[in-house]
């Protein structure tokens, strides 16, 4: 990829340089932080731009074909979630739902991982019902059945770790997809969807016991019963308010001991690296959202891929807004860079 001069000339754009500047300015923090380790400098500095170019490379190799890109994003989402999926399933098979401890060991390493991190890797999977609303060319019924099975098992995993964020992503993505798709579909198809959703909701309400005392809701119930925690987003709104104040009072950043993580991609970058990487990150993400909007509005014969771009973006953005990202889920941001690179290639084609 990097030795192909023609590809690099075409793919190295303004977004690439903004992302590189952000990554370098953020990585410079580790020069002054021997506890974190200097070995992370190269990772933070060059992995995001590498994944951005990789996304463009895959899209270019697939000739920006929307059906092939749809499959690419599906496969990427499943692969990205597989570690969390196996970690939670292993615990479920061993302990069931009765255990209220939300932080579980990683399937590969055995290291205890916070539930918010484990849950975030399901973000793309939570959009599967929204993905399946429109007719999808090139995806067999067998694959659709597999995706639905994987989704419902993932829902069980999300309930096991008590992740409200992931359930929220699923609902928001579904509503957004309906608003996007319904005006574009035939009346007959929309009637079918209405009957399907109404029937599904009625069946779930009549057959599923949502009593919070049920074992399968144990971890989730502990969080829902804390009204103060729920109303403030787990204390996040207070942290965002303090971060906004520190933007002006402490533009060079502040110690984590002050109030912990801000639980927001942009504010946590501000806390660690100061105002320069903060501004660069805002520019990069804002530019990508504009490109994503353009890709969604692009005139194509099959809008299933544009629907996928929409709901995947909702998944990414929700987690960006609610979690630190770069300190515990750097690969989540790198995955977004891959996604945005592919979308940029599609938009420019």
Q: What is the pLDDT of residues 143-164, one digit of tens each?
A: 999 999 999 999 999 988 888 8
111 in Cβ contact with 281 (< 8 Å): no
Cα–Cα distances in angstroms (integers) from residue 132 to residues 117, 125, 145, 164, in the given order: 26, 12, 10, 22
At residue 296, does pLDDT exceed 70? yes
CA distances from 252 to 33, 129, 174, 270, 284 (A): 15, 43, 40, 8, 20
- 149 CA to centre of own chain: 20
Q: Using the 8-state DSSP alphabet, how is residue 112 labeled?
A: E
CA–CA dist 85, 104 (Å, integer): 11
In this model, does residue 211 exceed pLDDT 60?
A: no
Residue 262 has pLDDT above 80, yes or no: yes
Q: By the 8 A CB rule, do 123 and 315 touch?
A: yes
Given a cut of 70, whether residue 339 has pLDDT beyond it is yes
Q: What is the pLDDT of residue 18?
A: 97
The backbone torsions φ and ψ at residue 104, rounded to the nearest 5 degrees and listed phi first, read: -120, 155
pLDDT in tens, 213-225: 555 556 555 555 5
- The more confidently predicted of residues 28 and 127 is 127
Q: What is the pTM of this model?
A: 0.90
Structure-token pair, residue 89: 């399933």
Q: Which residues of 157-187 are buried (b: 16+ CB within 10 A; e: fewer)?
A: bbbbbbbbbbbebbebbbebbbebbeeebee
- Give, rounded to a whole angstrom, the gap between the first and last alpha carbons of the chain: 19
- Do 159 and 115 contact (CB within 8 A), yes or no? no
- Please give the average per-residue pLDDT across 169-187, as a whole number: 90
């Amino acid at each position: 990829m990097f030795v192909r001069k023609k590809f690099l000339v075409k793919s190295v754009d303004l977004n690439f340089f903004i992302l590189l500047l952000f990554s370098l300015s953020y990585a410079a923090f580790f020069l002054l932080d021997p506890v974190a380790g200097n070995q992370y400098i190269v990772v933070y500095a060059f992995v995001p731009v590498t994944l951005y170019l990789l996304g463009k490379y895959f899209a270019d190799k697939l000739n920006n074909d929307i059906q092939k890109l749809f499959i690419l994003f599906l496969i990427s989402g499943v692969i990205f979630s597989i570690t969390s999926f196996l970690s939670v399933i292993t615990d479920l098979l061993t302990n069931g739902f009765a255990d209220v401890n939300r932080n579980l060991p990683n399937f590969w390493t055995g290291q205890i991982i916070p539930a918010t991190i484990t849950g975030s890797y399901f973000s793309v999977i939570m959009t599967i019902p929204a993905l399946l609303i429109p007719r999808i060319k090139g995806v067999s019924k067998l694959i659709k059945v597999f995706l639905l099975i994987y989704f419902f098992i993932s829902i069980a995993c999300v309930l096991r770790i008590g992740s409200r964020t992931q359930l929220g992503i699923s609902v928001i993505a579904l509503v957004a997809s309906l608003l996007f798709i319904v005006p574009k579909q035939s009346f007959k198809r929309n009637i079918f969807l209405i009957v399907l959703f109404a029937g599904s909701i009625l069946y779930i309400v009549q057959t599923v016991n949502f009593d919070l005392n049920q074992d399968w809701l144990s971890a989730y119930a502990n969080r829902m019963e804390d009204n103060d925690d729920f109303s403030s987003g787990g204390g996040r709104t207070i942290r965002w308010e303090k971060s906004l104040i520190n933007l002006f009072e402490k533009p060079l950043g502040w110690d984590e001991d002050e109030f912990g993580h801000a639980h927001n991609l942009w504010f946590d970058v501000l806390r660690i690296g100061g105002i320069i990487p903060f501004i660069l990150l805002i520019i990069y993400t804002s530019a990508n959202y504009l490109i994503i909007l353009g890709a969604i509005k692009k005139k194509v014969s099959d809008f299933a891929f544009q629907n996928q771009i929409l709901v995947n973006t909702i998944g990414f953005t929700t987690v960006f807004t609610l979690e630190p990202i770069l300190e515990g889920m750097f690969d989540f941001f790198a995955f977004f860079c891959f996604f945005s690179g592919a979308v940029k290639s599609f938009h420019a084609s």
